[in-house]
């Protein structure tokens, strides 16, 4: 499952790069604070456990 999630994450980042572009090399800058990001990741993980 972890490999599949990594593959899905890579695909998502590639799609984001195509649509929005990346100007920062070597790091990802997210348009939210850390707590919002952690809550979002937790919600995604919980949703994946239900499927």
CA dihedral 39, 14, 30, 8 (to 10 degrees): 10
> Residue 12 gets which letter from DSSP?
H
pLDDT in tens, 1-51: 445 556 788 888 888 888 877 666 677 778 888 999 999 999 988 888 776
User: Is the separation of the CB atoms in 30 and 37 below 8 Å?
Assistant: yes
Task: State the pLDDT at residue 40.
Answer: 92
- pLDDT for 24 equals 64
Domain range summary for the chain, segments of one domain joined by +: 24-51
* Phi, then psi, of 48 in degrees rounded to 5: -70, -30
Taking the model in full, what pTM does it have?
Answer: 0.46
CA distances from 31 to 20, 28, 46 (A): 12, 10, 22
Q: What count of residues does the chain have?
A: 51
């Amino acid at each position: 499952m972890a490999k599949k999630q990594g593959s899905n994450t890579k695909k998502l980042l590639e799609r984001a790069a195509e649509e929005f572009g990346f100007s920062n090399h070597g790091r990802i800058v997210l348009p939210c604070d850390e707590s919002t990001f952690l809550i979002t990741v937790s919600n995604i993980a919980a949703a994946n456990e239900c499927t």
